[in-house]
Structures are given as structure tokens and as C-alpha cells.
Chains A and B, each alone.
Chain A
Amino acid sequence: MRVLVVDDEPALADQIRRVLLSEGRVVDVVHDGVEAAYLGAVESYDAIVLDIGLPGRDGLSVLKEWRTQGIATPVLILTARDGWSQRVDGLDAGADDYLTKPFHMPELSARIRAMLRRRAGQASPVFEKDGVAFDSRTNRTMVDGLPVELTAQETAVLGYLFHHAGRLVSRTELSEHIYPHDSDPDSNTIAVFVTRLRKKLGAGLIQTVRGAGYMIGEP
């Protein structure tokens, strides 16, 4: 899961980055609106954390621009201005959620998880399919009620496929959302992760469409 964090305060942006990294997410950080608008438009993110009071360009206008460009990535707005008017303005600009500074980090994590889940059409934080249960809160996986040890990359691949269940996900897409955008992974490593996952979780969960990609569930 790849998250863009936009905040002009480096210390706060770094704190957010550390928390998200610890949850196995890929995190890009930018500090101004102009760069944020560009990255958000050209890169494919699963979620964006966007501060409103940004130098260069204000967050709301960046968000509006993304939405007019048809970019539907879930956006969590972060702001020091805690009025309800601003919250409605944020919602009207296309935000999915709103968090007021100062906030509790676990609250931020929970909001991002909830946004991702809602986008996946999933009400419960636990994804279940063919006896495999994936808890998006803890990144723990169980098979038939028994915990299974997965590496961080395996968890990331499984989490991404669960969040896009019913849709064919290409290897390129998977690697984009699992590795930072400055690294250059071999797409064959994705195939290796999937093979290991099928071994650990059973062959039935993840279907392979030869030459196209992977999918959990039915289209």
C-alpha cells in the first residue's frame, strides 16, 4: 500500500512516515503543494495524507485539481484549522476524511485503514476469503483460525490483493505499490512472493492469469 504524505512541517511529516512505514506501507513525503500536485497526478497511490496549510499551493486547490483530473485516490486532510466549515469545504473539495492537528498517531493510522477499506467496499477490518483471514489493523494473517508467519513483502502483496479483491492486478501495479518509487525491483520477485503466499495460504486463494497478473476472488 503506497501512501503520499504532504506536510510542510518536516518533523511532523517524518513522524507520520515512520508510523506508516512501521505498518508496512510504502511512503513518499513531499513538503509543498506544487510537488504534491505533480506526484499525486503522475504516481499511483492508495492513499494520500494532505495538509491544507501548505506553502506554494494550498492543499484544497491541489485536491480539487486531482478530483477534476479524475484521480479518485482516497485523501485524508490534515489541518490546524479545526472549524466545521473547513471540514465541509474539505469534503466538498473531494476529501474522504479529515483530521485536526494535534492528533493521535493511532487515530491517523486507523483513519487511513478505514479509507482504504471503504474504497475496497469492505466494512470489516478483517478481510476473509477461502479460510484465509487478513486483519488490516495488525497485518496478521490466519488460515483456518491459525496464525501464519508472513514477511513484510508477502503481507504487503496479500494486503494489496485483498484491498482490490475481484480485480486483476498486474505485476507492475503490485511492485509500484509495494516498493518505494526510487527503488528498481525486478518484477520477477513479485512472482516469487506470490508463489510463497500460495504455498503458505493454499493455492486456491490467489489466482494467476498468465501474462496478466493476479486476483483474489471473482471479477
Chain B
Amino acid sequence: MRSLRHRTLINAVAAAALSVAVVSIALFAYIDAVTLKRFDRVLEDRHTQLVVVLSDDAQDPAALEKGLIDPAYQRPYSGRYWQVKAPDGTVYTSPSLFGATLVAPMPPTDRLGRWTGPSPNGGQLRGMQQRITLGNGSVWTVTVAETLTSLLAERYETRKSLLIAFGIVAAFGLLSAWLQVAVVLRPLGRLREEVATRWDRGARLDPNDYPSEVAPLVSDIDVLLARNRETVARARRQASDLAHALKTPAAIVRNELVTLQEHGRDVGPALEALGRLDAQLRRSLARMSAIHSAEGVGGPIHVAPTLDRLSRLFGAMCARQGKTLEVANAPDLQVWMDRQDLEEVLGNLLDNALKWGRTTIRLSAISEPGGAVLCVEDDGAGIPEAERARVLESGARLDVSVAGTGLGLAIVSDLVSAYGGRLELSTSVRLGGLIAAVHLPHHAGLLAG
């Protein structure tokens, strides 16, 4: 669907074009009428002047030239003309007609007749003609005419300045429409930002903060967000309860099996099956948790407190084994992840490092464009390059015959990719063993897209 801004602007342009067109047509018609009326009035005055002069000089029509002193009547084809037809049919004309005569398209009457027709030297002219009966009873046909050049020029000028004015008005209209759209749409833009930021903080949206047109939508979004958050939390609780419910019986079965084994019974296959059950359970629960987490519980969190917590735990564990834990923390670094999941990721990696490292393990966090990279490295034997991909393979069949290996890394890989990050394994330059680098984005792909 076309954007609201787009729709409103197209609407505004169409409305402006239509109103400018209608107003122009009406106004131009009015202006044409007004200018023609004024032109006619001037021409009528000339006609009256000619009649007055004729009534004085009717005995000598040739003297009319002297009575009409306007220089334009003298200049050939000046555009301003008069013509008088005597009762005997003799036609007297202004010198400007230069021998031509004015021919009205209608016969002369006692009323003043008007016409528009061709000018003797090209172009259009406006003429007026009337049959005049003088005091002595003689009947004359008196005609004046003037080319329309000046009228057309005047019209052209008026239209031009009007069109410029209309253009300015239309531009203002469009600009104000654009501003109006921006103002009207601002709450919607804010809503989008707030949905993302408030979700991070677990805060609610307040419909009263929004215009009444948008408020119902805001309230619906708020309900949806809250419901989603609840669903995720409930799913996590259920997963956790399920784990608890399954693990205690598993522990009891294991202990009974071990007791039987101590009494010389062969329970190897049963123990092995139980081990497989445990491993599968752990991984399934971790994946379930990862999927639910990434679907909404996450938010931008500072990594520093998590690194502190884990270094307290692993610092103590290292000390017991005579190993050293180095920590390079980053106070301001943030990633988009649930804190529990981040601790699960780093905890598993540190546990691995503690298992394989000989003397030193190292936990560090640094910033990278768009996110952060958290590294756990050790000085153990590392993982051969050929096996790294297999270890990370998501959903790969677990080899439970190798105690503890792989499962932790697979869980880490599942969790990290659920948050749009990735886990990379390589050889530590600093310590020589394995380095597990967790790349995590600052923002969730979910809402930021």
C-alpha cells in the first residue's frame, strides 16, 4: 500500500492543480470581459468625438481631418482609424487608413453596432459603426476602429502576472501540505521507535501519549507486546519445570543403576542409554530456551556485569585447579541478548576452556562494527581444524561416547545463532589453544529491521 505521506502529497498536488485551473479559467474570462469593456468605452468616446466634429463640419467633410487632431489618425496604419460615409455615398477616411476602407460585417443602424474583424494591415481590429442623422436631416454612417494589439498585450501581461501569483500560492499550499503530513505522521514515527525501545526495557506503551486516532492502535500493540512477553516467560518457566521434573527421576535411576553395577550386575547399556537421554534432554531444553529468548525476552544489555559474575565463579574454579583466569572486561559494551543466555554461552565456553586449558584461560570482550565480540581462549590442545565444523554443526547427532565434548559448543552455537550472532573457533594467537569468538549484534534483527 502507498505510504500515507505519498497519498497526502498526491492529493494535495491534484487539489492545487484543479483549483488553480478552475480559478484561472474564471478569472481570465472576467479579465477578458473587463478589458474589452474598457477598450470599447474608449472607442465609443472616439466615435462620439467623431460625431461631434462631423455635426460641426458636415458641410465640409474634408475638414474632418483638421477637427480630429490625434496624431495616430495621421500615421499610416497606426491602428487607429475613422471613416465617414456621406449621404451621397462618398467615403471619407482618416489618413491612417492609407486609402483602405473599413467594412463592417453588418448594415449600419441607428444603434451603435460593434464588431471584431480583420485589420487592413493584418491582425484583428475592433470597430463601431452607427447611422447618424444630423440636424439638417442628412444621414451619415460614422465608423471608428482600433486594432486589438494593445488589448491583447494588456491581457497577456495580466495573465502572466496572475499565473506567477497562482504558482506561488500553489507552492505554498504544497509546502504546507508537506509540513502538515510531517506533523500528523510524527506520532506514528514515535510509536515505531517506542515499540522497539520500550520492548527492550520491558516498559508498557501509554495510549494517552498518542493522538486519539492512533490511541486504539497503540493500546492494541501494547496488549500484544505484553501478551508476547508473557508467552515467552511462560514457555521458559515450562521448559525449566520440565527439566526439573525429568532430571530428578533420571538422577534416581542413575544412582540405582550405579548401585547395581557395584554389586556386579551388567547395566552398561542402561547407563549408556540414560546418558544419551540426559544429553538429548539438555540440548533440547537449551534450544527451546534459545528460540523463546530470541523471540523477545532479549534486549541490549551491558556485558560487563555478566563478565564480572562469570569471572567470580570461574576465578574460584580456576584457583582450585591451580589455573589462572585472565579477564579483559569492557565497561560500556552492549549486546542484544538475554542475560541468562549470555551467561549460558560464556559459561559453557569457559567450562570447556577450564577443562582443556593447561595453565591459563582468558575471557575478553571488545567492540566491533555493529556489535561486540566475546572471546574465550585457553592454552590447551585446541580442536583440529577439520573437526571444528562438525563440533558446531547444528542438530548434528550427538556422540555421547565422548564425555562432555561437543554438547556445550553445540548449545552455544544454537543460542548465538538464535540471536543473529555467530560462533567462530580458531587457534588462539595469545595462548596457543582454542579461541572461541562469539560475535553478537547490538540490535535485534527482529524489531530493528
Query: Which one of B248, B256, B344, B351 contacts A101 once the chains associate, using CB atoms below 8 Å?
Result: B248
Which residues of chain A are near B347, meaning CB under 8 Å? 83-85, 87-88
Closest chain-A Cβ to B345's Cβ sits at a distance in Å of 9
Question: For the complex, is A102 an interface residue (Cβ under 8 Å from B)?
Answer: yes
What is the size, in residues, of chain B's interface with A at 8 Å between Cβ atoms?
33
Query: Which one of A15, A81, A82 contacts B255 once the chains associate, using CB atoms below 8 Å?
Result: A15
Question: For the complex, is B343 an interface residue (Cβ under 8 Å from A)?
Answer: yes
Question: For the complex, is B346 an interface residue (Cβ under 8 Å from A)?
Answer: yes
- Which of B273-304 touch A at CB < 8 Å? 274, 278, 282
Which residues of chain A are near B310, meaning CB under 8 Å? 84, 88
Question: For the complex, is B254 an interface residue (Cβ under 8 Å from A)?
Answer: yes
Say yes or no: A101 contacts B251, CB within 8 Å: yes
Say yes or no: A105 contacts B255, CB within 8 Å: yes
Say yes or no: B340 contacts A102, CB within 8 Å: no
CB-nearest residue of chain A to B348:
A84
Say yes or no: B309 contacts A88, CB within 8 Å: yes
Question: For the complex, is A42 an interface residue (Cβ under 8 Å from B)?
Answer: no
Closest chain-A Cβ to B424's Cβ sits at a distance in Å of 21
Answer whether A83 and B250 are a contact pair too, CB < 8 Å, given A91-B313, A91-B316, A105-B258.
no
Which residues of chain B are near A101, meaning CB under 8 Å? 247-248, 250-251
Answer whether A9 and B255 are a contact pair too, CB < 8 Å, given A81-B240, A85-B339.
no
Which residues of chain B are near A80, meaning CB under 8 Å? 243-248
Bound: A115/B203 CA distance, A: 44
Question: For the complex, is B252 an interface residue (Cβ under 8 Å from A)?
Answer: yes
Bound: A12/B253 CA distance, A: 9
Say yes or no: B244 contacts A12, CB within 8 Å: no
Question: For the complex, is A53 an interface residue (Cβ under 8 Å from B)?
Answer: yes
CB-nearest residue of chain A to B278:
A102
Answer whether A12 and B252 are a contact pair too, CB < 8 Å, given A80-B243, A83-B340, A84-B346.
yes
CB-nearest residue of chain B to A53:
B244
- Which of B305-334 touch A at CB < 8 Å? 309-310, 312-313, 316, 320
Bound: A103/B248 CA distance, A: 9
Interface flags, A198-209, vs B, CB<8A=1, else 0: 000000000000
A interface, size bucket: 20 to 34
Bound: A100/B247 CA distance, A: 9
Question: For the complex, is A104 an interface residue (Cβ under 8 Å from B)?
Answer: yes
Say yes or no: B309 contacts A15, CB within 8 Å: no
Answer whether A88 and B248 are a contact pair too, CB < 8 Å, given A81-B240, A81-B243.
no
Between A12, A83, A104, the greatest number of chain B beta carbons within 10 A of the residue's beta carbon is seen for A83
Interface flags, A73-100, vs B, CB<8A=1, else 0: 0000000111111011001100000001
Closest chain-A Cβ to B218's Cβ sits at a distance in Å of 34
CB-nearest residue of chain B to A7:
B248
Bound: A81/B246 CA distance, A: 11
Which residues of chain B are near A11, meaning CB under 8 Å? 252
Which residues of chain B are near A12, meaning CB under 8 Å? 248, 251-252, 255
Closest chain-B Cβ to A99's Cβ sits at a distance in Å of 10
Closest chain-A Cβ to B37's Cβ sits at a distance in Å of 93
Query: Which one of B251, B252, B258, B340 contacts A85 once the chains associate, using CB atoms below 8 Å?
Result: B340
Closest chain-B Cβ to A74's Cβ sits at a distance in Å of 13
Closest chain-A Cβ to B419's Cβ sits at a distance in Å of 16
Say yes or no: B312 contacts A88, CB within 8 Å: yes
- Which of A3-46 touch B at CB < 8 Å? 9, 11-12, 15
Say yes or no: A87 contacts B313, CB within 8 Å: yes
Bound: A85/B246 CA distance, A: 20
Say yes or no: B248 contacts A9, CB within 8 Å: yes
Say yes or no: B250 contacts A102, CB within 8 Å: yes
Say yes or no: A92 contacts B254, CB within 8 Å: no
CB-nearest residue of chain A to B256:
A15
Closest chain-B Cβ to A30's Cβ sits at a distance in Å of 16
A interface, CB within 8 angstroms of B? 9, 11-12, 15, 53, 80-85, 87-88, 91-92, 100-105, 114, 118
- Report the 7 A-B pairs with minimum CB-CB distance, sorted nearest first: A84-B347, A102-B251, A80-B247, A80-B244, A102-B250, A101-B247, A85-B343
Q: Give 6 A-B contacts (CB < 8 Å), ordered by A residue.
A: A53-B244, A82-B247, A82-B282, A87-B347, A88-B343, A102-B247
B interface, CB within 8 angstroms of A? 240, 243-248, 250-256, 258-259, 274, 278, 282, 309-310, 312-313, 316, 320, 339-340, 343-344, 346-348, 351
Given contacts A80-B243, A105-B258, 7 further A-B contacts (CB under 8 A): A81-B243, A87-B347, A91-B316, A102-B251, A103-B251, A104-B258, A105-B255
